[in-house]
Amino acid sequence: MKNLLTLALFFCVTLLSAQDFEGIMTWKITSEITDPKVKAQMEEAQKKANDPAAQAQMKELQAKMEDPQFKQMLESNPQMKAQIEAALKMAQGGDINSLMPKGYTAKFKNKNMLTTMDGGMMANMEFLYLSSEDKAYVINRSSKTYSPVANNATQDKKDLDVKITKTSETTRILNYTCTKYIADVKSEKGTSMQQIFWATKDIPGIDFKSMAKHRMGNSGQSMWYAEIDGVPLKVEMKMPQGNMVMEATEIKKQSLSAADFAIPAGFAETKQGF
């Protein structure tokens, strides 16, 4: 489950570098748990969440959050507030699958990019790339915090074992011709997964090469692979726990406000939590 959420984050920030393109891209995300053990764990977690006693505790906690004194305490501890809100959201969702994102939106302007998640545990998180700093950040609106994304130049983390294969297979997505790339990834622990990228070179103004030096959290997972050319319009991930697919649904050029591409005033810096 954690691996699928991490990969959702990886998919989302693969787009964190732009050149001349200004506008919005929207994506849908579908996921499926295939491992019987993980399925059983999720069903058990759902059963516990639906238990009347657990529901009563959640209702009590929800009511307590309206208490002025409790609110004040949470405001002084934004991370605790975010954790409680996430737990309440899971309980109210009525389905463990509500933890998974359903899609995201990416905004581009002046070589910068901002993405927001649609649904799931990361719904309050945004991912910002600032070209002037050549840095990426994770912004948590709920906890009013932000975290810099690790850079290969400042981290001695060992790279994962990744083999990239460019195929001759092509397909049309949103009327763009996309070429299929296969990334076979093996971790230090020996676990394997496969990522399939359908990338097009028919959309000028967006560059992904600079993101190859950035990493996901504390892992050796790079945000992008330098061997892949073009803009990914579909990404598929296959691993023992389950599968996930991200596919572009709309690409729209339009003017955007520069104010969207900045770390919000008053947000505190914290360590990455993914």
Q: Which of 101, 95, 99 is nearest to 29 (CA)?
A: 101
- Is residue 271's pLDDT more than 70? yes
The confidence band for 230, taking pLDDT boundaries of 50, 70 and 90, is confident
Find out whether 27 and 262 touch, Cβ atoms under 8 Å.
no
Q: What domains does the chain contain, in order, with CATH numbers?
A: 2-36+98-269 (2.50.20), 37-97 (no CATH)
Encode pLDDT of 4-24 as tens digits.
444 555 555 554 444 578 999
For residues 252-261, average pLDDT: 93
Residue 159, classified by CB atoms within 10 Å of its CB into exposed (0-12), middle (13-18) or buried (19+), is: exposed
Encode pLDDT of 84-129 as tens digits.
666 666 555 555 556 667 888 889 898 888 988 887 666 667 888 8
Query: Which residue type does 261 have?
Result: F
The confidence band for 80, taking pLDDT boundaries of 50, 70 and 90, is low
The confidence band for 227, taking pLDDT boundaries of 50, 70 and 90, is confident
pLDDT at res. 46? 67
Query: Which residue type does 237 have?
Result: M
Residue 197 to residue 31: CA distance in whole angstroms: 16
- For 21, 48, 111, the CA distances from 133, given in Å and listed in that order, are 19, 46, 11
For the chain, what percent of residues have pLDDT higher than 70?
A: 62
Q: What are the tokens at 177?
A: 């011709």
Q: Answer whether 0.75 is exceeded by the pTM.
A: no
64-73, 142-151, 246-255: range with lowest mean pLDDT: 64-73
Encode pLDDT of 118-158 as tens digits.
876 666 678 888 888 888 888 988 778 898 876 654 444 45
pLDDT at res. 197? 92
